[in-house]
Amino acid sequence: MAGLEGVEQPRRHASATAARWSPAVEDERALKALELFGNPADAEVPLPSRPESAATARRLVQVVILRHWGLTPRMTEDAVLLVSELVGNAVRHTGARVFGLRLRRRRGWIRVEVRDPSRGLPCLIPVQELDLSGRGLFLVDKLADRWGVDLLPRGKTTWFEMRVADR
């Protein structure tokens, strides 16, 4: 912060930060996203290819997996992280105006799909501890039970699956 040497910066208090985030607020935002965009478990949801759509995708995944399907917070957290990575790749690397989000559940598995009009394949690259980018598919590879890409006549679907312990 050039030019601000010797000037005391305001301190953030942990209690102030904690007061801003609450599960109830996140649930409200997730339910609002579901109302605005539709349920990706019912049909593919088209989202604009903009960085802020990652937050919408995270909220949609959260509300479906945690609230509608009643799965664990841990599974929800992992799926939210991974969908964010797939959406980030679709937004950054495809040049698309819109991408699609779809969630599927079958016995023992959940599947999250991000469809875009590019036929360019994503690339899993080795990452080093200090790398600032390139970790998206690395995380998908580590946290998902399976993942892959299905080429379509006009684009591709990048997906991951996670094993669910059915009751």
Within a domain: residue 10?
no
Within a domain: residue 9?
no
Q: For residue 13, name the pLDDT band (cuts at 50, 70, 90).
A: very low
Question: Quick one: tokens of 36?
Answer: 């605005």
Q: For residue 64, name the pLDDT band (cuts at 50, 70, 90).
A: very high
Within a domain: residue 14?
no
Round to the nearest angstrom and report the end-to-end CA distance of the chain.
Answer: 54
Within a domain: residue 136?
yes
> What pLDDT does residue 166 have?
64
| CB burial string 103-117: b at 16+ within 10 A, e below | bebeeeebbbbbbbb
Number of compact structural domains in the chain: 1
pTM: 0.80
What's the CATH number where 98 sits?
A: 3.30.565.10
Higher pLDDT, 119 or 127: 119
Q: What is the pLDDT of residues 18-52, one digit of tens each?
A: 334 344 556 788 888 999 999 999 999 999 999 99
Within a domain: residue 49?
yes
Q: What's the rounded mean pLDDT across residues 82-104?
A: 93
Does residue 15 register a pLDDT over 80? no
| CB burial string 69-97: b at 16+ within 10 A, e below | eebeeebbebbbebbbbbbbbbbeebebe
Within a domain: residue 6?
no
Q: d(Cα 154, Cα 131) in Å, to the nearest integer?
A: 33
Domain with 93, as residue range(s), is 22-163
Within a domain: residue 5?
no
Within a domain: residue 119?
yes
At residue 139, what are phi and psi to the nearest 5 degrees? -65, -45
